[in-house]
Structure 1
Amino acid sequence: MKAEIITIGDELLNGQVVDTNSAWMAQHLAPLNIRVVQITSISDKKEAIEEALEAASQRAQIVLVTGGLGPTNDDVTKETIATYFDSPIIRDEEVLRHVERLFAKFGFADMPPINQKQADVLADADVLFNDVGTAPGMWIERDGCVFVFMPGVPFEMKYLMRERVLPRFAAFSAREITHNAYILTVGIGESHLARQIADIEDNLPDYIRLAYLPKIGLVRLRLTASGTDGALLERETATFVDQITARLEGHIVGHDARDFEEIIVEKFTEAGVTLATAESCTGGAVSASITAIPGASQMFNGAAVTYANSAKRNVLAVAEETLMQFGAVSEQTVMEMAQGAKRVFQTDYAIATSGVAGPSGGTAEKPVGMVCVAVIGRYGREVTTFQFTNDRKINIERTVAMSLNMLWNLFSKEVKMT
């Protein structure tokens, strides 16, 4: 089944509020084989709401709408949809008592009359009772399309979706099954990757689509198959996954939707090896990306953020001569930093970073964006100098990505040696 999401609110259009509701809904619809075909954000205007509802009903069998259900004059959704569905507005006494109880619970002596409007619903709608907020949701069916209206407050929307909406969707008999397969690659750019598998992509049948989902340092491929025979879709998708995997040997990290860091934590834990970091320009971002993963304590021993040269000397025992001769941003220094981290934290692997993150501090010899990364393993070591951009945030993100890529490559080589 196809769904469309409509979010209502001028605050979404002017950037005051970021729409996180749509992503959450799409993620929870997918397991029910409900595919989101479009997400639309519109203003609190009668014409915009009517046009969006009409267009969405032509594209999808399910239309999910959030926002615009408040009691103030700028929330016009309720009045607009009453006209659109030709349904009178009535006051739901059960909802009204719930709203009054909420005001009393939070210590208000009386409830402003304007809040009584929260209990107003369309007469032709199924009321989706909102235990955690004042605005109820509404479920309306017309011409084979289901319209669901919910408040825009994220925790209220999520409650209604989990408790009232998703269970009803689960009872639908899905006419179309969607199966996703994933391939996570590192160390190869999107355009090079596409060129290498162009012939495989050209041979995909119409019901299997290939999507490229790039991030800094990696590209995730997603194969999406749609049809009525789930077992057939899985078999045929697996065939193409195998072809792509064979073609991209050496760049494949995993075959699921997990993040790269999750896979690193899992594989290091399975191998019984440990990791530490010594960071300068990244300020702990490499270690933070690893320790954000549950279970990282099984393979991550510690980190040192040695920003100043004195910290590099005192904590990691980087030689004064190395710093004087080559400078803090050098392959020689990051190699000694990695050696120090491996020794101090008693690990099998260590990553070290040092660079000119910017936007200032660069020189002709060492411009902004120059970053050195070293990785030491059980048997080998790698060190590389990168030249990134003038953007500090992007430089740090790229350094983290390249550090993890170098770590993975060295780890993969050493696993084959054992």
Structure 2
Amino acid sequence: MKAEIITIGDEILLGQVVDTNSAWLGQQLFDLQIHVQQITSITDSEEHILQALTEASQRADVIICTGGLGPTRDDVTKATAAKFFQTELVHNEEVLEHVKQIFARFNRTMPDMNYGQASILANAEVLFNDWGTAPGMWVQQGEQVFIFLPGVPYEMKNLMQHRAIPKLKAFHSAEKLVLRYILTVGIGESHLAESIADIEDSFPSSAHLAYLPKIGMVRLRLTLNGKDLKELNRTADDLQQRLIDRIGSAVIATEDLSFEEVIVRDFVKHNCTLATAESCTGGNIARLITEVSGASEMFLGAIVSYANEVKVSQLGVSEETLKEHGAVSEETVIQMAKGAQERLHTSYAVATSGIAGPGGGTAEKPVGMIWVAVAGKNSVQTKLFQFHGDRLINIERATNQALLMLWNLYRQENQD
């Protein structure tokens, strides 16, 4: 089955809100063997909503619309959908009571404008929203389904999981899709592609390999489509193993995992712990690690030592080192890493210090100059990076390179 997602909201197009809903929906639909063919983001306007619904109805079996179901004047999705289906909005007393109960639950008076949320498409089945005031709607026309959901991620996810997905499970797709992943580090995209070119050339027509590069790493996504799910899985496993055998030690995961997830998983496996001492990255390394479920088993803490006095008082960096070499120096990051390791009693520690930009650079220490140190069980490794002028990109690059250095030292010291 083919699906299309339509996200409605000026705030998405203006860049004020990032559309995380579509990525999440794509994952949920894939688990149901419903394949997203297109994602469209449009403004809160009748013209654009009508056009998007018309075009999606010609391409997809399942059309999911998010956004524009609220009570304010700019929420025009329901009225426009009524025009598209050539139907009307009808008052639903059950929905009104549902909305009233939500306000009562929080001891709040319901504004008059919220009465409009009890207006539902006459041809729709209500998807009751226990997590907000905007109900979802399910419209089925033959074998085609339209699902209207609120744009608030928390509400959308709960409505999808508890209301829409149970209904979608009744649909069956003849076309099957299977995915396999390989995460590699320490090998560039071009070199990786060259090393496996002959394997890729031998792929059957049903197989496709995508390269998803990131600083210091490349994720390979192998996709196969067909009708025989058992045969697809067998072929996918065979092709994945051929690639793994060829790539060798650069492979660090064969699941759909992030680099941070791999680090957390392996640190837990080997009873290793981690701390960070961050200056120019401002806690970004710690943020990525702690976003991973289970990080509490291996991550003990972070010291964001942005100011020199914090480097001295919290990490034990000597004032003489700062005076002689400066905060952006190999000597300083070594003491930062060792200080975090000793004070937080961890197996490993990562430290960063540099000039993220766009200001603050000098002729001797230009913008983008960043030192990274990793303290391990047996040694401390350091590396100097010279990036460019964009502050956020420099922080991202320094973060990724620090994680890569951490992984390389960890792997050297913990070979199975």
Q: TM-score, normalised by structure 1?
A: 0.89
Cα displacement (A) at 1:338: 2.7
- Per-residue deviation, 1:398: 1.4
Relative to structure 1, the CA distance from residue 45 to residue 341 in structure 2 (aligned partners, 3 Å threshold; closer, same or farther) is: closer
1:17 has 2:17 as partner: yes
Residue of structure 1 equivalent to 2:393? 394
How far the C-alpha of 1:258 sits from its partner, in A, is 2.0
Q: Give yes or no for the alignment of 1:127 onto 2:150.
A: no
Residue aligning to 2:403? 404
Q: 1:266 to 1:73 in 2, by over 3 A?
A: closer
The residue number in structure 1 matching 2:78 is 78
Q: Which string of whole-angstrom CA distances, capped at 9 and with x for unpartnered residues, describes residues 47-99 of structure 1?
A: 32222112112221100112233455444333333332233433223223334
Q: Are 1:369 and 2:368 counterparts?
A: yes
Q: 1:384 to 1:86 in 2, by over 3 A?
A: same
**CA 1:98–1:379: 2 relative to 1, 3 Å:** closer
Structure 1 residues 44-83: aligned runs within 5 Å: 44-83=44-83
- Distance in 2, matches of 1:46 and 1:343, equals 62
* Aligned-residue offset at 1:310: 4.6
Residues 229 and 327 (structure 1), Cα distance of their counterparts in 2 relative to 1, 3 Å cut: same
> How much does 1:136 deviate?
2.9
**Counterpart Cα distance in 2 of 1:186 and 1:360:** 32
In the TM superposition, residue 167 of structure 1 has moved relative to its aligned partner by 0.1
Tell me how far 1:409 sits from its aligned partner: 0.9
CA contact (8 A) 1:103 1:111 kept: no
The one-letter amino acid of 1:39's match is I
Residue 98 (structure 1) aligns with: 98
SS in 2 for 1:340: helix
Query: Are 2:141 and 1:142 equivalent residues in the alignment?
Result: yes
Distance in 2 between the 1:379 and 1:387 partners? 27
3-state DSSP class of the match of 1:40? strand
Residue 299 of structure 2: aligned partner: 300
Q: Distance in 1 between matches of 2:145 and 2:325?
A: 67
The aligned counterpart of 1:379 is: 378
Which region of structure 1 is more displaced relative to structure 2, 32-41 or 86-95? 86-95
Deviation at 1:406, TM superposition (A): 0.8
Contact 1:216/1:401 (<8 A) preserved: yes
Per-residue CA distance 1:119-169 (angstroms, 9 max, x = gap): 233333223233444433222223532111223333332232122210011
Output one character per residue of 1:286-328: Cα deviation in whole Å (capped at 9) or x when no partner: 3333333333343334444444445445544445554444333
RMSD between aligned residues: 2.7
| 1: CA distance, partners of 2:91 / 2:28 | 31
Deviation at 1:413, TM superposition (A): 1.8
Deviations 1:263-301 (A, max 9, x none): 212212211233333333223333333333333343334
Q: Does 1:266 align with 2:265?
A: yes
Structure 1, 46-55 or 89-98: larger mean CA deviation = 89-98
Give 2:79's aligned amino acid: E
Question: 1:180 is matched with which residue?
Answer: 179
The SS at the match of 1:180 is strand
Is the 8 Å Cα contact of residues 212 and 221 (structure 1) preserved in structure 2? yes
Paired residues of 1:65 and 1:149 also in contact (CA < 8 A):
yes
CA distance 1:377–1:57, shift in 2 (3 Å) = same
| Cα distance in 1, alignment partners of residues 114 and 318 from structure 2 | 70
The code of the aligned residue for 2:125 comes to D
CA deviation after TM superposition for structure 1 residue 194, in Å: 2.9
TM alignment of 1:179-198, pairs within 5 A: 179-198=178-197
Is the contact made by 1:125 and 1:140 (CA closer than 8 Å) also made in structure 2? yes
Q: Displaced runs of 4+ in structure 1, greater than 6 A?
A: none
AA aligned opposite 1:382: Q
> 1:31 matched to which residue of 2?
31
Structure 1 distance, partners of 2:267, 2:158, is 37
Cα distance in 2 for residues equivalent to 1:231 and 1:153: 38
Does the alignment pair 1:202 with 2:195?
no
Aligned-partner SS, 2:248: coil
Tell me if the contact between 1:96 and 1:118 (Cα under 8 Å) persists in the aligned partners. Answer: yes
Equivalent residue, structure 1, for 2:225 = 226
8 Å CA contact retained: 1:66, 1:150 = yes
* Aligned equivalents of 1:100, 1:277: Cα separation in 2: 49
Q: Give the match for residue 153 of structure 1.
A: 152
Structure 2: runs of 5+ lacking an equivalent? none
CA distance in 2, matches of 1:111, 1:201: 60
